[in-house]
Structure 1
């Protein structure tokens, strides 16, 4: 993995450049972070709102005579297919992002997300068009996967190349915090729909509302991103004619294998925090095993996402101040302990106490805010977008896409399987932190 000094193009010996790298965020930086975070939140809302209405899709888009098991499997398969499409979208958009500019791809990803989200809101169900319904649903999810594959890596690269080098942790923590708030928007929307409409009304038509709203808000974000400018790093590479020649992804795979490995492992940890703890813990609590009321579980989730957002920003600041290695060691150790206590307390403590435990765990899931810090510094600027996008999306496609299916099976054997999975990956995160600490000391 390349060091910060070699991977960030503005690292220079002059006092002027040193001051520039360590300065505080200015108005221009705040504008970039605000628009990037807002767009990321709305796009991630569009991507994950599907999971909040998975049971509705199971009943509306598949044959009525299917067993509950196959309906559930098909629905989560539709959820997973978007993850498998992420590497394709990520590689394509990152390729052009490294060659023609970050901003263009950053805006395109929003368009590609808003269109299929809006279309899902108007899709006919199985009752009306038969097997064409699940096929169209899968197609829309595939387009969403392509879009999100470019959006998240693009956001991390975009803000990292705008802000001072000594504020990259904070910037990425804030953007990642914005992405997690997209989950909160989804949770609040699901809570609003479940509180306002009856189950029959939700199944008949109300499930469409979140998708229509999300699609329309996506186009608002496209308009707002008009006010963003290309990153100074990319413009400088253009001026120096230092852009990568040929296929950026080929250079990534050929010359940066250690960077790919550490990025894949860090993203695997990220999937455990977001997919397992934030998205699927409420589903576990609502299951027949624990019977937590849906409204209670969604309320718990909302508090936890707020704690997660704060944790992301805190992690970013810690990375800037103490280094990413020390931050990972401390935060991952805390995540292993807090998540184990939380999962083993489900069904054994009252709901207010469980809410606090879940929120504390969510705060330490904020270690995900340090993941982009690792990846941004792992790849040189001319192939940064491609390297980050390839590693992140490859890992997310495998672990983010298959984990729900895997846990859905093993949870029937042991409902605490999710806890053991998170603890295992938290320990892996500690070892990643030790490696990063040693690597930093060498350089």
Structure 2
């Protein structure tokens, strides 16, 4: 629950900004948690691994559209306003997800079924490219200087809540339907649920005002006609830094939170119910730690919280995967919870950190470009890579290497960054960088209004 001491305006910004991330990640989670079922429905094969790989490949290919969507919606958001851009993203995302639930199967129309699935996934990813970073931007610009980490962390908590909602839906389906019923029609239900969720999201978004920082920027005439080009020209270092810190973020999300139900059933040989139970508990605890970590970063700095969580993950990921493989559900659950909490702690300060890297007039576009390229390269194919690594090495612990490698790259990125917590947001791409922690902590007029 959002803290009571936040202003009503800040609460509305958080709820309005977060609702879309819930729906976006629910939509993606629905596919991830049903990957094994969808493999049978759309990619039937005598070899279950081939079906699963085909299903995850479809999941991953769609992510190449994310940067294009980031450029499109990010540019619209920087030129015409944050609210309109990510309201349209939620409308289109919900409609496309509903249509996936209406698709005929391979048994009905043959190869056209997986072709239509891939097309809808591509369009879905295009819309998703502007949603999460739009929420980062919108809430970050409403947030106060001293509590931006905490207040912005709710957007990421909303995203993982979407994962949790998707896993709960899959858990209920697994508990109430047989395997044959899931394959026949049960898999459609989570996708159909996107329509009412989307309607709620659009209603809440339409009641929001525009970001005050965007309004000030508009009044000062700082809006640029080509924000992506401006970002590449003036903010190359922040672009690379946003790309780098998103590496562990995305690998952690898509290995620890999305791929784990499949890993529990196909590699650890636990039941569908056990795998879903583990996911529900792990994600709930990860969400709990996000605002705590966000608030912590307001006190000790973003780099310190991100660095410690990433460093501990570097050391503990392999031992925790080893603990999972002991054929004991209690130990596997404990290990899954531990890895998820580490990811949750890392995710808490991320929204504020991303927003603080970029100036207002290119924030949405620059962040969307960098983040979504990182998602496409490291996140979307994470489940596919994990499945392939296990199949090729015959080592069920091999996905841990991918997580460890991502932690190393993100730690290198963090070493190149200066601390940005408790500093005013920059207004334009030519602005002097924010002053370091310990110097003037005066807020801009926009931020004063959100205290």
TM-score by length of 1: 0.89
| 2:360 maps to which of 381, 388, 392 | 381
Change over 3 Å in CA distance of 1:328–1:111 after alignment to 2: same
- Counting only pairs closer than 5 Å after superposition, residues 263-342 of structure 1 correspond to structure 2 as 263-287=242-266, 289-342=267-320
* Aligned: 1:255 with 2:230: no
Query: Structure 1: which 5+ residue stretches go unaligned?
Result: 1-23
| 1:197 maps to which of 177, 201, 206 | 177
Which deviates the most, 330-339 or 179-188? Answer: 330-339
Cα displacement (A) at 1:308: 1.1
What is aligned with 1:54?
35
CA contact (8 A) 2:140 2:351 kept: no
What is aligned with 1:206?
186
CA contact (8 A) 1:47 1:148 kept: no
- Counting only pairs closer than 5 Å after superposition, residues 14-53 of structure 1 correspond to structure 2 as 25-53=6-34
Cα displacement (A) at 1:67: 4.6
CA contact (8 A) 2:249 2:347 kept: yes
Change over 3 Å in CA distance of 1:424–1:191 after alignment to 2: same
Cα displacement (A) at 1:124: 1.1
CA contact (8 A) 2:318 2:397 kept: no
What is aligned with 1:77?
57
CA contact (8 A) 2:154 2:290 kept: yes
Aligned-partner Cα distance in 2 for 1:353–1:66:
33
CA contact (8 A) 1:110 1:219 kept: no
| 1:216 maps to which of 168, 172, 196 | 196
* Aligned: 1:343 with 2:321: yes
Aligned-partner Cα distance in 2 for 1:437–1:383:
20
Aligned-partner Cα distance in 2 for 1:354–1:82:
31
Aligned-partner Cα distance in 1 for 2:379–2:407:
16
What is aligned with 2:348?
369
Residues 306-361 of structure 1 show CA distances to partners (whole Å, capped at 9, x for unaligned) of 11112221221122111111112222222233433320102326322332232122
What is aligned with 1:178?
158
Cα displacement (A) at 1:123: 1.0
Aligned-partner Cα distance in 1 for 2:412–2:34:
37
What is aligned with 2:117?
137
Residues 360-388 of structure 1 show CA distances to partners (whole Å, capped at 9, x for unaligned) of 22111020222222221111100110100
What is aligned with 2:217?
237
Change over 3 Å in CA distance of 1:71–1:349 after alignment to 2: closer
Query: Structure 2: which 5+ residue stretches go unaligned?
Result: 421-435, 440-451
- Counting only pairs closer than 5 Å after superposition, residues 63-102 of structure 1 correspond to structure 2 as 64=44, 67-102=47-82
Instruction: Count matched residues.
Output: 417
Aligned-partner Cα distance in 2 for 1:361–1:77:
25
What is aligned with 1:9?
none
CA contact (8 A) 2:104 2:113 kept: yes
CA contact (8 A) 1:324 1:437 kept: no
Q: Which SS does the other structure have where 1:25 is aligned? A: coil
For the aligned residue pairs, the C-alpha RMSD in angstroms reads: 2.0
CA contact (8 A) 1:81 1:145 kept: no
Which deviates the most, 383-392 or 311-320? Answer: 311-320
Cα displacement (A) at 1:119: 0.8
What is aligned with 2:127?
147
Cα displacement (A) at 1:437: 4.8
Change over 3 Å in CA distance of 1:46–1:402 after alignment to 2: closer
Aligned-partner Cα distance in 2 for 1:428–1:58:
32
Q: Which SS does the other structure have where 1:348 is aligned? A: coil
What is aligned with 1:399?
378
Cα displacement (A) at 1:191: 0.7
Aligned-partner Cα distance in 2 for 1:208–1:78:
17
Runs of 4+ in 1 over 6 A off after TM superposition: none
What is aligned with 1:425?
406
